[in-house]
Amino acid sequence: MALPVLGTLPKSGVKITRWSVVGMEAMWSKMFDPPTASPATTDALAPTNPVPEVMAAAGLAAAPPAPHVVTRSLLHALTIPTWDGAKLLKFFTIGDGTIPSAAGGTYPGPTLRMPRGVVYNAQTTGAGPPPHTIHWHGTEPTPINDGVGHCSMEIGSYRYQWQPNFMGFYFYHCHRNTMQHFEFGLFAATVFEAADTYFATQVDPSIPIGHSRDGTRRLACNLANFPQFPGFIGGLLTDPDPWTGDPRLKFATNPHAMTAPFDVEALWVFDDRDSVWSDLAGNARQTFPNHGSQPGINDVFTNTPFAFNDFNADYWFVTGVAVPAHKGGTATIPAGIVIPPDLNSGVSGTQISIEAKVGDTICVRFLVAAYNSVQVTFPVNVVVTAWDGRALGVPPYGHNEAYLVPAGTPIETSTARRCEVLIRETSPFTGTVKCKFINNRGQNVVAGGTDYTEVVMTALIPLNIGGNAIPPAGFAVSGTVLDQVGAPAKGVNVSIASLTLGGAATQTVQTDSNGIYSFKSITNGSYTVTPALAGHIFAAPTAQVTVNDQIPSIPNFTMSIATFDPNSYSINEALDSLRSIVGSKIPTPTEKFRFDVAPIFNGVPAPDGVIDIRDSLNILRMVVGLNPI
């Protein structure tokens, strides 16, 4: 079948009228400047975000231009020398006119934080040549507030409005000329905190900014399988608020449901820069094509060979801190770096390189703002609690769960993704977190047994946990024992033995009426779990279990009576087993009773209907497929 002629409808001779691109270049390329717009906010609501007032009261910012309104301005130009002094990198940045240190833009932009549930407003303007938008990446505002170029508007000035309904880690960035503006630094992190944060500081100024009404800092998570992290609160997000303190901090529902406190926060924003792109930034139309007769098909770049698909990073950053290494190298960023509170929505103490104490719960949040992929390898165990702002195992995302990443296991992620992990060590530790920047074009390509993944640079982030060792957390290890027909087996002795202590049993317990056994305070290590009951064997005689900073799962044990000696099998045991088969038809066991089971068991036991020990055993043997005795 012949293809239709370009410019005609299939099976017709009708010509398709196509607009000329002359004077309408913006229809074909986001590189040209369309008219700017400054519309009013659609369906505007009264903002309720307390952050601007809290920062002003703390002397970190001027009063907002309107109550509860954040300000942001786009495309401030910054020039920063490279760490080796070889070049001057040009940055396009986000600023905040109410904060002196951010008035001219910062790299990355000021971190945006707010309590869950508030109505957020951001008065946004362009500080450089238009067009611009802010895209609130991962949130779900209305289309006009979503900030996607050509889908909302290209702002001159606009007040964005939306509401964060769940705690989590997100980010915001310009979504016009995205490929260039994102690369040049028009982005910043966003954190949605517990609903009582910031309000708590307004009610009680002694509560540090960003802390909850109980004085803790919290993140959304489900740590049901990780009891080593103290203070986790479960329940439902709709549970009533149990607060009995200051009524001004009382909420309709519990703001701490499905959250846990943390002591130390680290915020990493991974970024890479191609200095050639920076060199060419002075010519605003350096990369604009001359449109051909088929826009997007035969366009011609006048400044070839440079084009936006030619990206080769040669400088790298972690939250604006330069990594002092060239391509192919490895380098450690300095220790003791803390994000200033005026650039962190008033929150103090957020770190880049990590300093903590033994027993601290450390929350690490990292965002990939790089075009390279990033592989993060922690030297200690970490628990991943959230991806891309969604807390794992927390409604409405309850179909997944938090999971352990053992020390030395890489976490691979890519552009625009965010991850949150928790660390808690019971012994001192000094080392580094290894962060490999990987060339996307060669990632995970294996040919002929050779891995062509290109690690373009490795950044090392210091991790120092000081202090004295504390007793490690103990874990509950539990499981179930079933009898030969799948009913709970009560009274089975189950022991756990440490393989690292020569196999000696450390605890022995009995199963309850539900067949459940449970060991308490089991520390990290490898163990064997063994069930035992006189006259019984088990389909799996033992199970090996490894406890590694999480509650392990043990397959059910199933017992059989295939080798029973009838003379050692008591009548009560026989009748209990028989009762599990025929249910309530068997009364409480006595030494002997009459029961006509012939219609049920096809002539077994004897037609006289008197059940004795041998009859009971034969019935059970028949059920499990053995010949009667």
Residues 6+ apart with CB under 8 A from 396: none
pLDDT value at residue 260: 98
pLDDT value at residue 444: 56
Q: By percentage, how much of the chain surpasses pLDDT 90? A: 59
Q: Which residues pair with 384 in a beta bridge?
A: 403, 421
For residue 483, name the pLDDT band (cuts at 50, 70, 90): confident
Cα–Cα distance measured from residue 542 to residue 112, given in angstroms and rounded to the nearest whole number: 53
120-126 sheet: strands from edge to edge: 88-95, 69-81, 120-126, 157-162
Residues 6+ apart with CB under 8 A from 1: none
Burial degree of 483 (CB within 10 A; 0-12, 13-18, 19+): buried
Mean pLDDT, rounded, for 8-19: 44
pLDDT value at residue 602: 40
Task: Determine if the peptide bond prior to 305 is cis (ω within 30°).
Answer: yes
> How long, in residues, is the chain?
629
Nearest partner of 487 among 397, 548, 383, 578, judged by Cα: 578
Fold of domain 475-560: Immunoglobulin-like (2.60.40)
Residues 6+ apart with CB under 8 A from 10: 4
SS3 content of the chain, % helix, strand, coil (to 5): 15, 35, 55
Dump pLDDT digits (tens) for 388-409: 999 999 988 878 999 999 999 9
Architecture of domain 25-219+234-251: Sandwich (2.60)
CATH code linked to domain 265-275+303-466: 2.60.40.420
In one-letter notation, the amino acid at residue 299 is D
Give the pairing of strands 330-332 and 455-466: parallel
Tokens found for residue 589:
């066991």
Tokens found for residue 42:
């659609």
Q: What is the DSSP string of 117-137?
A: T--EEEEEEESSSSP---EEE
**Domain boundaries for CATH 2.60.40.420 within the chain:** 25-219+234-251, 265-275+303-466
Tokens found for residue 197:
């944060």
For residue 273, name the pLDDT band (cuts at 50, 70, 90): very high
Q: Which residues pair with 496 in a beta bridge?
A: 507, 529
Residues 6+ apart with CB under 8 A from 189: 108, 111, 112, 169, 170, 171, 267, 269, 365, 367
CA dihedral 443, 447, 451, 452 (to 10 degrees): -50
pLDDT at residue 593 greater than cutoff 50: no
Cα–Cα distance measured from residue 222 to residue 260, given in angstroms and rounded to the nearest whole number: 8
Place of tokens 């770096």: 337
Instruction: Determine which helix (DSSP H) or strand (DSSP E) holds 408, and give its type and residue range.
Output: none
Nearest partner of 202 among 6, 376, 51, judged by Cα: 51
Dump pLDDT digits (tens) for 73-108: 998 999 999 999 999 999 999 999 999 999 999 999
Ranges of beta strands (E only) in 328-486 are 330-332, 354-357, 362-368, 373-377, 382-387, 390-391, 403-405, 410-413, 418-423, 429-438, 446-447, 450-451, 455-466, 475-482
Q: Are 262 and 288 in contact (CB under 8 A)?
A: no
Q: Which residues pair with 162 in a beta bridge?
A: 120
Q: Are 5 and 124 in contact (CB under 8 A)?
A: no
**Domain boundaries for CATH 2.60.40.10 within the chain:** 475-560
Ranges of beta strands (E only) in 54-126 are 69-81, 88-95, 112-115, 120-126
Q: Are 36 and 26 in contact (CB under 8 A)?
A: no
Mean pLDDT, rounded, for 154-167: 89
In one-letter notation, the amino acid at residue 498 is S
Dump pLDDT digits (tens) for 433-472: 999 999 866 445 555 656 667 899 999 999 999 999 998 8
Cα–Cα distance measured from residue 104 to residue 279, given in angstroms and rounded to the nearest whole number: 21
Cα–Cα distance measured from residue 327 to residue 320, given in angstroms and rounded to the nearest whole number: 18
3-state class (DSSP) for residue 253: strand
Terminal Cα-to-Cα distance of the chain (whole angstroms): 79
pLDDT value at residue 569: 46
Dump pLDDT digits (tens) for 515-562: 999 999 998 989 999 999 887 888 888 999 999 999 988 999 998 754
Cα–Cα distance measured from residue 313 to residue 184, given in angstroms and rounded to the nearest whole number: 12
Residues 6+ apart with CB under 8 A from 367: 169, 171, 189, 268, 269, 270, 416, 417, 418
pLDDT at residue 215 greater than cutoff 80: yes
pLDDT value at residue 591: 33
Tokens found for residue 426:
């019971």
Q: Are 393 and 400 in contact (CB under 8 A)?
A: yes
Q: Are 130 and 31 in contact (CB under 8 A)?
A: no
